[in-house]
A and B are shown apart, each in its own frame.
Chain A
């Protein structure tokens, strides 16, 4: 068992080492430099483990392995530029690092102290010297609360977490606060569920505490079944700062009177699962989980449950049914989980990012948290930027930041000089936001008013080359696949909706079909059992609302303006540009192209199978699809 004094002692012991990463010079008996290498999924996929091995090898070769420490961290956020590596105390930010760069970085920078400017993130290199990372466009408007330790500490070392105030919030609630105080603080902070729904977190805890007075067991669950395609903020928190979730769940357990928790995490996130396992093991070893935590008599423990690839399990009742070992089908509410949840006991379920805010709220106070954000949406929100945008990655911004700031300032805008068309938020439950709404401040209520939703925070940018009907069809294909089949409106409705979209993209739909489709959308929304079905038509409704002209082009003119829907395309040779080189005719797999050498060729559209091979072959840009 650990006492609060021992916790403070660990913090004090590591303080000077951790301050190195805040830019202070190294104190005595510590490493001279820290090299932090991103070990998140994005950078691992682009080879950061090889970088770490090479670094350690080169440090040994140069005999400085006792002066420079290599730390594998979680995600820095700027995934587009991975693998990422940062050297402290100077804060030099190396991006897209290759193994062959390592000997140079070690011998020049780490041995001699000369930063290898050529390999730094170009935006940090200016005429007047090297900018700090926090002054770059990607980071300067960000405000990190949930992600504050990601890319700063080693997620596999509990002492580094403790050194940066880790488990201090748990110590505070156990020694200075009643469960009611904790709940009141969370209520006052205005924290709302970050998984999508936006339900006030404090309210949820209050219900679970008070609704059933004589429960022999209650449960605290964490929803880490982040299923929205394109959203990866929860994964990054688990990979970069797993202890924050453990600490927050223990606090929640104290608040509602539970002694057992479950983290339901996607099996598709092997790194997150592994780090959670390590973190839970360390927390037990240090007496921060288990019986008599910090000598206060409070008991709480955690178990992991792995999801098995079912999107519907992100729905709260389905998730609990799945933990119980069943098909993950939702059940009707009421009773709400606060009354009868997991194993029919009072249960709270919060999302990873929601939990990641809790210890900070306890330590800094409700007012601190409530000072950030908009009137009804407090604090910050993490977004996963993806799609047609320069800086793909993870950003945390105060609520109320505009989409324009996120996409153009933080995200660096659209690549290849293309035009912005829409931003998709809320995943398969959300909608597409057109350019006219770029200046709307992002919060729960504003996004709903323009036909989308916050969702878990995926933000996918689309440009002029994306067809909005095709995108709606893509999301419906997803929901058809993921519908659990329990209720008819969702099981059959989404399938019919998908077929209608297919009819449109193949050029066989009429205007009447568009009306029918809209009606079906509302039918599914109003009659489905759970959130999956109730929100499944949103991608269709929002694209119908903002991109009706594109639907009309498919239905009336039988054209796909973005050039995506194969059935509506024809390939043509522009006679002026064609040199008659015959390359396309030789490439065509069905012999649809004919013409004499050095004369403009032509495509027989009745034979053409629209494979695009000719267009890829032509060196003169003479082949177009329209």
Chain B
């Protein structure tokens, strides 16, 4: 998996910073607190830029290297901001044998980005995901909270057109 340093300049609101401090103070006494802190930090900021990782490392009294090591190990954590519409195509086995690979390729072609990237206007981000467990609807993709099942390559264009704002 490719990890690139974010190209978008980091900025945070005072509310975000305050929330992060609350999370850290609540969790840091517990055993194994780093993962829950990172998960909640990602909820607050939408991603985990190096600046947020630095705050967490300093507040927890651990090295930035340790935090970065954990962040880059897990697929759920992102160093880059996600699009306004986050597209995930399931490449689990059940979806794959029913053609989700073709759907994924088509999306890369139409959006002109690769998996893991964001369109230049920040609107769509695309990623492959592992089984979301909706195997009965294979092949499946999700755009934010909307689930599209029993997909065909031809439907891709029409579905994207729904997100035209």
Contact = CB atoms under 8 A, between A and B. Distances in A.
Interface of A: 41-42, 45-46, 79-82, 227-232, 235, 267-269, 305-311, 322-329, 343, 384, 386-388, 392-393, 424, 427, 458, 460, 462, 466, 471, 474-475, 481, 484, 616
Contacts of A80: 136
Given A324-B32, A325-B33, A458-B93, A309 B75 contact: yes
B39 A267 contact: yes
B66 to A, nearest CB: 8
Q: A-B pairs with the 9 shortest C-beta distances?
A: A79-B136, A386-B94, A229-B92, A309-B75, A308-B74, A325-B34, A232-B133, A230-B93, A308-B76
Interface string B102-134: 000000000000000000000000000111111
B130 A229 contact: yes
B23 to A, nearest CB: 14
Contact of B77 (A235, A305, A308, A325): A308
Contacts of B69: 327
| Most chain A beta-carbon neighbours within 10 Å: one of B34, B36, B73, B93 | B93
B98 A46 contact: no
Contacts of A229: 91-94, 96, 130-131
B94 A268 contact: no
Interface in B119-165: 129-138, 140, 147, 149, 154
Given A79-B135, A458-B93, A460-B97, 6 more contacts: A42-B134, A230-B93, A232-B131, A327-B69, A386-B135, A387-B98
B145 to A, nearest CB: 10
| Most chain A beta-carbon neighbours within 10 Å: one of B31, B33, B69, B129 | B31
A173 to B, nearest CB: 28
A423 to B, nearest CB: 11
Given A79-B136, A269-B133, A325-B34, A230 B94 contact: yes
Contacts of B32: 305, 323-325
Contacts of B7: none
Contacts of A458: 93-94
Nearest to B147: A45
B35 A386 contact: no
B39 A460 contact: no
B69 to A, nearest CB: 5
A392 B94 contact: yes
A296 B130 CA distance: 44
A41 B74 contact: no
B73 A392 contact: no
Contacts of A311: 130
B130 A268 contact: yes
A392 B98 CA distance: 12
B133 A42 contact: yes
B79 to A, nearest CB: 14
Nearest to A391: B136
Interface in B54-70: 69-70
Nearest to B109: A611
A222 to B, nearest CB: 15
Contacts of A386: 93-94, 135-136, 138
Given A45-B149, A46-B149, A310-B75, A305 B36 contact: yes
Nearest to A232: B133
B92 to A, nearest CB: 3
A424 B133 contact: no
Nearest to B131: A229
A469 B129 CA distance: 22
Given A387-B94, A462-B97, A393 B136 contact: yes
B35 A305 contact: yes
B127 to A, nearest CB: 11
Contacts of B137: 42, 45-46, 79, 82
Given A230-B131, A386-B138, A393-B136, A310 B93 contact: no
A46 B132 CA distance: 13
B46 to A, nearest CB: 15
Contacts of A232: 131, 133, 135
Contact of A268 (B31, B33, B77, B129): B129
B1 interface: yes
B70 A326 contact: yes
Contacts of B140: 45
A42 B136 contact: yes
Contacts of A79: 134-137
A306 B131 contact: no
A310 B77 CA distance: 11
Contacts of A384: 94, 135
B35 A308 contact: yes
12 contacts: A41-B134, A46-B147, A229-B91, A229-B92, A230-B135, A308-B77, A325-B35, A328-B74, A386-B94, A388-B97, A458-B93, A460-B94
Contact of A306 (B1, B39, B135): B39
A481 B94 contact: no
A98 to B, nearest CB: 14
A324 B98 CA distance: 38
Contacts of B129: 268
Contacts of A427: 93
Contacts of B76: 267-268, 307-309
B75 A306 contact: no
A306 B138 contact: no
A269 B133 CA distance: 8
Contacts of B130: 227, 229, 268, 309, 311
B160 to A, nearest CB: 18
A358 B88 CA distance: 36
A489 B25 CA distance: 41
A329 B74 CA distance: 11
Contacts of A309: 74-76, 130
Given A268-B129, A308-B35, A310-B75, A82 B136 contact: yes
Contacts of A305: 32, 35-36
Contacts of A308: 35, 38-39, 74-77
A392 B93 contact: no
A231 B34 CA distance: 29
A160 to B, nearest CB: 23
A424 B93 CA distance: 9
B97 A387 contact: yes
